[in-house]
Amino acid sequence: MTLSAKLWDFLFGVAAIAAAPTVPFFIVAFGLQYAADVIFGKGAPNDMRFVALGFCIIAIAAVVALAALFFVCRWRIKRRLLPTPMFAAELLIGLAISGFYTLIVCGILAMSDPGW
């Protein structure tokens, strides 16, 4: 296998692992938040029922994100071109990129809401 094929395999693994928890987390969280706003309406910021609903939405989105990460990691381990010890590097780099991106997006969303 050529060096370019090994590099491409590594970068693909990093990208797949980085996107695995981030994309489902935001899709599920925004979808559930929109559905809650449509069903229950916009609540007062200090109403504990809406705070609890927000925690439930985040918990569901986190479970979906972890499940997606688990399935992508399992899929990636089965279809690797590189030796298995390189998977740890893929996992660490991918999770670091995912965490950084999630913090940036959450920061932008928090700063864009004047009521936060």
12-40 pLDDT, tens per residue? 889 999 999 999 999 998 898 888 888 87
Average pLDDT of span 100-110? 88
Burial 64-93 (b: 16+ CB within 10 A, else e): bbeebbeebbeebeeeeebeeeebeebbeb
- Residue-wise pLDDT for 45-85, tens only, equals 666 777 788 888 889 999 999 999 999 988 888 887 766 77
CA angle (54 as vertex; 109, 45 as ends), nearest 5: 75
